[in-house]
Structure 1
Amino acid sequence: MKQQIIEKIEQYDRIIILRHMRPDPDAYGSQVGLKELIQANYPNKEVYAAGQHDELLTYLATQDEVEEEQYKGALVIITDTGNTGRIDSPYYKQGDYIIKIDHHPDVDHYGDMRWVDTKSSSSSELIFRLFKYGEKNYNWTLPNEAARLIFAGIVGDTGRFVFPSATQFTFQVASELVSYDFDRTALFDAMYEVNRDVLHLQGYIFQNFTMFENGAAYIKITKELLREYDVTTEQTSQLVGSLGNVKGIKSWVIFVEEDKLIRVRLRSKGPVINTLAAEYRGGGHPLASGASVYSWEEADEVIERLKQLCDE
C-alpha cells in the first residue's frame, strides 16, 4: 500500500491534502506533516493543505486557500477522516484520484485507494510509516517541521502516550522523532496550556457533573454557560478529558450547546462508545467519539444509552 501511495504521489504535479472538520492535532499533524514531507522530497510539485483553519491550532500550522478549479486533475489525499460527511471540503470529489489514509474504523469506504489501519495510534503514525518506506526505497528525507507535526499528532491522539493505542511501535516512532530539531517544550506548552476562562469552566464541570453508581457520567454546557465563562465551543475541546481523572468513572459525555445543535463528546475507559456515537450522527474510536443531537431530550437519550453500556 505504501508503495502504491508513493507511486501516485510521484504521478501528480498537484496534490491537495484534506482532513476532517473541527480538526485536532492528529488531523493537522497527519495532513500538514504529509504536505511538508512531500514538498521536501518533491520541491517542484504543488502541495496544499486545505480546510477551515482552527485558530487554536495555529501553533501547529495554518491552512492553504484552494479554489474549486484547482481540484480538477489533482491527487486528493484525505487523512484522519473516517466518513465523507466529515471531510472539510465540498470539492474533494472533483479530484482526479482520491487516497484515504486513516486509523479510524472504516465506516465509510470512500476513495480510489484506502490505507486504513485501526491498530495505529494515530494517522500521524501512519504518515511516519510512509516516510520510513520512502526513506528506504526512494531516499526520502524527513524535514524537522514534518517531524514536529507528526510528533504532535501522535501525542495528541495518545493523550501523551497514556491511551492503550500507544503501542511499543508508537514509542519507537516517538523516540526517533525527538531526535529531530524542534522545540519539544514549546510544543507541549502550546498543546496543553489553557487560559483562565477555560480553567474556570473546568472548575464548573468538576463541581456540577453527574455520575451514576455504574460509572457513567455527564455534564451539560449550555450557550448561557459559554457566554458566562467567555469560552468558545472550540475551546471546550480542551476539557473533554477532564473527567477521566475521577475515581470510579467508566465513561462520560460532555454536551456543548451551539446555535443549531448540541455537540456530543464521548470518552470511555472501557465500554465501547463509537457504536453509540453512530446512533446519533457521529462516530470515532471505541474509547473516544463524537456525535450531534438537536434537543436536550435527545441528549437525555444519549445519557440513558451510556448508562446501559456501563451496566453491560
Structure 2
Amino acid sequence: MFEGLYSALEQSEVITLYRHINPDCDALGSQWGLATWLKHRFPLKRVIVLGHQKMTNGLFPDSDEIDDETVRQSLAIVLDTANVRRIDDERWQSARQIIHLDHHPQIEHFADLEYVIDHYAATCEILAEFFSTVDQEPLEADVAEYLYRGLLTDTLSFKTSNTTEHTLAMASYLAQSGLNIPQINRDLFDVPLKEYEFASAIRAEAQILDEHLMISVIDQAFLDRWSMTASQAKDQVYQFGGIREIEIWAVFAKDHDDQRNTWWAGSLRSKTLPVNDIAMNYRGGGHKNAAGCKCLDDASLNALIADLRRRLKENQA
C-alpha cells in the first residue's frame, strides 16, 4: 500500500508539505503530524510546512516561509487535496519530485507517487496506518495528537458513514500515546459565546425545502453585523446534521477577494445521498456526503439548490 513512500522520505534532504485552501483539521493535522514525525526521525532534514492562510486558533502553528529555489530542490508532498487548483501555494509544481497522499476521491493525477485511499475517513487515518507500519512503538504524543485532531473532526466525532473498524483501530493506535482525549475534545469543539450566538443566528436563517432539504443563505450584511467571515459561516453547516427529517443540508455565504469581487461559497452535507457530484458541477468537489463549492453567482446558486432538490426527488421516486 505504501510502496516507495518511506524510501522517498528517507532519500530527500528537503521536504515541503502542502495542504488545501481553507484548511480544516485533517489538512492541518496531516501536514503537521507528518512534519513532526519526520523531524523526530530525521532531525538533520529540512521539513517545511507551507500554506498562505495563517491559522489563529492556536491548535496548529503558522506555516513556514521558504524561497523558491529551496522548493525546487525539495520533495513536495500534497496532503488532503484532491485537485490542483485547491493546493495552497502553487510552488509545489516546481519540486523535483511530488507525492500525493489523500483520502478524497481522485479526480486528477498530478504526482509521481500517489497514495490515495478514498474509503478511509481522513488523511490522518492514512498517515496513522503508514506510521504504524514503520514504528512498532506508540507514536510521540505531539504526532499522535495532530493526527487524532484530524481524525476526530473529519469523522464528526466518529459519526460519519465512512467511519469503519479500521478508523477506530487507528484512533486506538493514536490513543496509545497517552492523549488527553477529553481536553482534545474541548479544544476542538468548545466555542466562545459569540460564536454560539452566531450559530444560533445562522440556524434562524435556515429554510426547509421539500421537507428534507435545509438551506441557510448568509449575505454580506449578515456577516458584517456579526463581524464574521464566509468561512466561519460555512463552518456552521454541522448545525443542521442532527435533524431527523433532514437528508441534505447546506450553508451558502457571500465571499470576496482583496479586490472586493464577490461570489457565493457553500458547504454541502447529506446523510446518505451523494452531493459531491453536484458540487463538482459548480467549481467544487469533496466526499460523497460532504462537499464544497465556491465562485457561484446568483444564477449558479439557484441552479445548485435546484439540483439538490432534484436529487431528493429522484431518491423519493
Q: What is the TM-score of this pair, normalised by structure 1?
A: 0.94
Paired with 2:298 and 2:192, the residues of 1 have a C-alpha distance of 29
**How far off its partner does 1:221 sit?**
0.4
Partner of 1:161: 158
**How far off its partner does 1:38 sit?**
1.0
- In structure 2, do the counterparts of structure 1 residues 36 and 141 end up closer, same or farther at CA, with 3 Å as the change threshold? farther
**How far off its partner does 1:214 sit?**
4.3
Q: Report if the CA contact (8 A) 2:139-2:174 is conserved.
A: no
Q: Report if the CA contact (8 A) 1:29-1:149 is conserved.
A: yes
SS of residue paired to 1:240: helix
**How far off its partner does 1:121 sit?**
1.0
Indicate yes or no: 2:12 matched with 1:12.
Answer: yes
Partner of 1:92: 92
**How far off its partner does 1:126 sit?**
0.5
**How far off its partner does 1:248 sit?**
0.6
Q: Report if the CA contact (8 A) 1:197-1:230 is conserved.
A: no
The one of the two structures with greater contact order (alpha-carbon pairs below 8 A, sep at least 6) is 1
SS of residue paired to 1:190: helix
**How far off its partner does 1:187 sit?**
2.0
SS of residue paired to 2:241: helix
Partner of 1:26: 26
Quote the sequence identity (%): 26
SS of residue paired to 2:110: coil
Which range moved further: 297-306 or 78-87? 297-306
Partner of 1:294: 296
Partner of 2:259: none
Partner of 2:285: 283
Q: Which runs of 5+ in 2 are unaligned?
A: 257-261
Among 173, 197, 207, the residue aligned to 1:200 = 197
Q: Report if the CA contact (8 A) 2:103-2:121 is conserved.
A: yes
**How far off its partner does 1:184 sit?**
2.6
Q: CA deviation digits over 1:203-241, x for unaligned, max 9? A: 122222111234112111011101112222232243111
**How far off its partner does 1:66 sit?**
2.0
Aligned residues: 309
Partner of 2:183: 186
Q: CA deviation digits over 1:12-48, x for unaligned, max 9? A: 1000011111100000111110111111111111111
Partner of 2:272: 270
**How far off its partner does 1:297 sit?**
2.5
SS of residue paired to 1:38: helix
Indicate yes or no: 2:210 matched with 1:218.
Answer: no
Q: Report if the CA contact (8 A) 1:251-1:266 is conserved.
A: yes
Paired with 2:124 and 2:193, the residues of 1 have a C-alpha distance of 30
Which range moved further: 229-238 or 160-169? 229-238
- Report 1:46-85 matches (<5 A): 46-85=46-85
Q: CA deviation digits over 1:155-208, x for unaligned, max 9? A: 011000011111111111111211213433332222112222322222122222
Letter in 2 for 1:215: H
Q: Report if the CA contact (8 A) 2:282-2:293 is conserved.
A: yes
Letter in 1 for 2:2: K
Among 225, 228, 250, the residue aligned to 1:231 = 228
Q: Report if the CA contact (8 A) 1:214-1:311 is conserved.
A: no
**How far off its partner does 1:56 sit?**
4.6
SS of residue paired to 1:3: coil
Q: Report if the CA contact (8 A) 1:271-1:287 is conserved.
A: yes
Among 169, 174, 181, the residue aligned to 2:171 = 174
Q: Report if the CA contact (8 A) 2:237-2:249 is conserved.
A: no
Which range moved further: 199-208 or 75-84? 199-208
Paired with 1:55 and 1:31, the residues of 2 have a C-alpha distance of 13
SS of residue paired to 2:291: strand
CA RMSD of aligned residues (A): 1.6
**How far off its partner does 1:142 sit?**
2.4
